[in-house]
Amino acid sequence: MHEEENTQIIQAPGADLVVVRGFVDTQQSKQLIRCLSLEIDWRQDRIRLFGREHAIPRLQQFQGEPGLHYRYSGLLLEARPWHPLIEQLRRRITAVEPAPFNCALLNLYRDGEDSMGWHSDDEPELGLDPVIASLSLGQPRRFVLRHRTDRQQPKIELLLDDGSLLLMRGSTQHHWQHALPRTRRHCTPRLNLTFRCIID
């Protein structure tokens, strides 16, 4: 992989965003999707938003070092053991972004109806200025960022295609929100693996 050619740095106030295209090649990606779709006990968890309970519009699993927990929108996820393939990817990602990733939230978007709403990954257990490494496999989907306070700032639109690795660093989570909108276009499944560092 020629990292420089494949690396896109996105410049915006208060954001530190890098996309590495083709971090995983097509063949590897296909294999990963095949194995992970079958071998992970995907769940459609329920969250509480504005006082109401909803089933999330996607499937997920949280993995990581034993004893870690991740809490968001009233949901408490206990880390399941690393799947060996996820653990391998964690090590590969650490080679390009040396952060102490100790967990990953895995998302499976079954089709265009599956999505993720506006949010920042700013849970206290991620600490100040978290580094998040997000690997996309399968169906390319639109990923959008908007500034949290300055709505004059243009939105940032990225197409996260098969095998691309997005790094969100620095104060990105403090100043920006992101979302994966639903789409009416025909969509095959997409896997997204977000590696994170939880501080005990």
Ligand X SMILES: O=C(O)CCC(=O)C(=O)O
Binding residues for ligand X, rule: CB under 6 A, are 105, 107, 116, 121, 134, 143, 160, 178, 180, 192, 194
Contact segment (CB under 5 A) with Fe ion among 1-9, 40-48, 65-73, 121-129 equals 121-129
Q: Which of 139, 190, 168, 181 is nearest to 20 (CA)?
A: 168
Q: Does 121 bind Fe ion (CB under 5 A)?
A: yes
Shortest distance, position 115 Cβ to ligand X, whole Å: 9
Q: Which residues are annotated as a binding site for substrate?
A: 50-52, 70-72, 122
Question: Taking the CA atoms of the chain, what radius of gyration do you get in angstroms?
Answer: 16
Q: Which of 189, 142, 187, 186 is nearest to 166 (CA)?
A: 142
Q: Which of 119, 136, 134 is nearest to 176 (CA)?
A: 119
Helix, strand, or coil here: 61? strand
Contact segment (CB under 5 A) with Fe ion among 37-45, 71-79, 84-92, 117-125 equals 117-125
Q: Which of 200, 54, 29 is nearest to 115 (CA)?
A: 54
Shortest distance, position 177 Cβ to ligand X, whole Å: 10
Size of the site for Fe ion (CB under 5 A): 1
Shortest distance, position 45 Cβ to Fe ion, whole Å: 15
Q: Which residues are annotated as a binding site for 2-oxoglutarate?
A: 107, 109, 119, 178, 190, 194, 196
Given a contact cutoff of 8 angstroms between Cβ atoms, the answer to whether 120 and 132 are in contact is: no
Question: Quick one: what does residue 61 bind among ligand X, Fe ion, none, with the CB cut-off 5 to 8 Å set by partner type?
Answer: none
Shortest distance, position 2 Cβ to ligand X, whole Å: 24
In whole angstroms, give the CA distance from residue 174 to residue 130: 9
Residue nearest to ligand X (CB): 192
Shortest distance, position 168 Cβ to ligand X, whole Å: 9
* Choice between 117 and 189, CB closer to Fe ion: 117
* Choice between 59 and 160, CB closer to ligand X: 160
Given a contact cutoff of 8 angstroms between Cβ atoms, the answer to whether 62 and 79 are in contact is: yes
* Choice between 2 and 76, CB closer to ligand X: 76
Strands in 132-138's sheet, in edge-to-edge order, are 7-12, 15-20, 165-169, 132-138, 190-196, 103-109, 59-64
